[in-house]
Chain A
Amino acid sequence: MTETKAAPPPPKRPRPRLDAVNRPFWTGGAEGKLQIVHCPDCGQYTHPPKEFCRHCQSENVAPKAMAGTGTVDTYTINYQPWMPDLEVPFIIARVRLDDAPDVILTTNVVNCPVDAIDFDDKVRVVFEEQDGVFFPLFEKVA
């Protein structure tokens, strides 16, 4: 009789505390939307989200659904298990959004080998749900 031991589950992602300002970003994935704060007065984006536009200080801001595509600005392949049972290696990347080039998201590029990532790679958003938070991750566009 062989005894098989199931691998421990990977740790949960540290979860942001949701509030009125950050909720659209962290829950937009429920509708498949990447939401970034947009200012109709000056046309610019504010990220991390704020209740004022950081470019013109207008209070007339609202989350706007983005295309969800971008390019890899830079990245690192992480080998250190910062938390117990964290599976390594994995990719941490800065993704510059196509339709808001001043906005950079730190994220994970998933669904590819770690050595398949490079600068300027085209990527698109995919969402991973955990406890009601929809984490925007990215995968390479074939």
Chain B
Amino acid sequence: MTKLKEAYISGVGQSEVGVRLARSPMGLTMDAIKQALDDAGLTMDQIDGVASYPGRMATFLGFSPIGVDEVIETCGIKARWHMGGGEIPAQLSAIAAAVDAVRLGHARHVICFRTVYEAAAMSRPEEFPPLRREFVDGLSQWTAPYFAISAACWVGQFAMRQMKRNGMTREQLAQIALNGNRNALLNPNARNITKKELTLDEYMEARMITSPFCLYDCDRFSDCSTVVIVSASDALDEVSPNPVRVAATAGSVHRYSWDQPDYMASYATGPDLWSKTDYKPKDVDTVQFYDGFAFFPISWLEALGFCDVGAGHEFVDGGTRIAIDGELPLNTGGGQLGAGRLHGFGFAHEAVTQLRGKAGARQIPGDPKVAVATSGGGPLAAALLLARD
């Protein structure tokens, strides 16, 4: 029987991140692909797989304007394996699927991408029509009729539970936003998103969106493409040195709805991730946690066992433990609160950058060898454990 291969991230790339960029969605995607190919030392004709989340969404183009099919056609890729779809446990599961594909030998080098164009789409509704709201279908019919239209209204209720049941304060929640702001100021790719320091006073006085979330607890729409290339262990002689091994992946769903779950899917994903590896939470040097809203990273700290369930807000209290020079640097690139809503893929990009020691002014000290990146955390959640051997 053939032994399973290992999967490595051989290259990462990211286009300019901005708001209302003039560059087209395919232009951004090509920028990120070319950068990732250069980073991996690969050429386009060596790519034989493509994966994306959620694939092109024709009715909601700003959310996901580029499909796997368009990348294959534009780049002339002779794909032996490809997939794009939204019915997987959160964004990073697209990378987890590519990991499975190369381990099984379905492909050798897979381009995984996520292109977002939400900021530009909002400013050009004639080109990118927004969703019509008169009628709602599917799962949104159980929330939208109550004007619970944004995920903020859904996640906010889990965060309210942490406040009312476990004693989380707004000052503790603020540490996720303040940490993201501080780190984004050190990240050149975030310069269009975060331009100045955020203070706790400004946070506390900001307008409320939906309790307990204020404006700074919500990630910021942006235009960007992020690419991660996944390569098989028996193809590493073709790539540049410094690949990062994918030590484990996990993903889970609680309920396929936002209104029924009584807990967040991250709490099943964490133990599942650790069950697939000998690494333990104490081995992790940095965490890149999905922060579409500030409460998500607090729940991920609990779900992955960095603290007790119900105590995530105590872990982040004061912000020192999660700072770049703290015991568990969190969202070192600024996360989505500080560096833009890259919709999950930014966390894998930042984890690889940190493990290679290439994060410049925001590089964490020491010699980091293990990182976790996550996406989602509501009804759906996914996690990647990355290691430098």
- Chain A residues in contact with chain B, CB under 8 A? 12-17, 22, 47-48, 73-80, 82-83, 86, 90, 92-94, 103-108, 118-119, 133, 135, 137
Contact = CB atoms under 8 A, between A and B. Distances in A.
B381 to A, nearest CB: 19
Interface of B: 133-137, 139-150, 152-154, 156-158, 160-161, 164-165, 207-212, 257-260, 262
B157 A80 contact: no
Contacts of B259: 48, 94, 104-106
A105 B156 CA distance: 16
Nearest to A114: B211
Interface SS of chain B: helix, strand, loop or mixed? mixed
Contacts of A73: 262
Contact of B164 (A12, A77, A80, A119): A119
A107 B142 CA distance: 8
B160 A76 contact: yes
B165 A119 contact: yes
8 contacts: A13-B147, A15-B134, A48-B141, A73-B262, A76-B210, A78-B210, A92-B210, A104-B259
Contact of B161 (A22, A74, A82, A103): A74
B141 A22 contact: yes
The 7 closest A-B pairs by CB, nearest first: A16-B141, A76-B156, A106-B259, A14-B144, A82-B149, A79-B208, A74-B157
A16 B134 CA distance: 9
Contacts, number: 108
B147 A15 contact: no
B152 to A, nearest CB: 7
Task: Tell which of B134, B146, B158 has the most Cβ of chain A within 10 Å.
Answer: B146
Given A47-B260, A80-B210, A13 B145 contact: yes
B143 A17 contact: no
A63 to B, nearest CB: 16
B262 A108 contact: no
Contacts of B211: 76-79
B145 A92 contact: no
Contacts of A13: 145-147
B159 to A, nearest CB: 8
A104 B260 contact: yes
A15 B137 CA distance: 9
B149 A76 contact: no
Contact of B157 (A83, A92, A133): A92
Contacts of B161: 74, 119
Nearest to A15: B135
A92 B148 contact: yes
A106 B148 contact: yes
A135 B134 CA distance: 15
A12 B133 CA distance: 10
Nearest to A80: B209
A103 B146 CA distance: 17
A135 B262 CA distance: 23
Contacts of A107: 146
A87 B141 CA distance: 20
B294 to A, nearest CB: 14
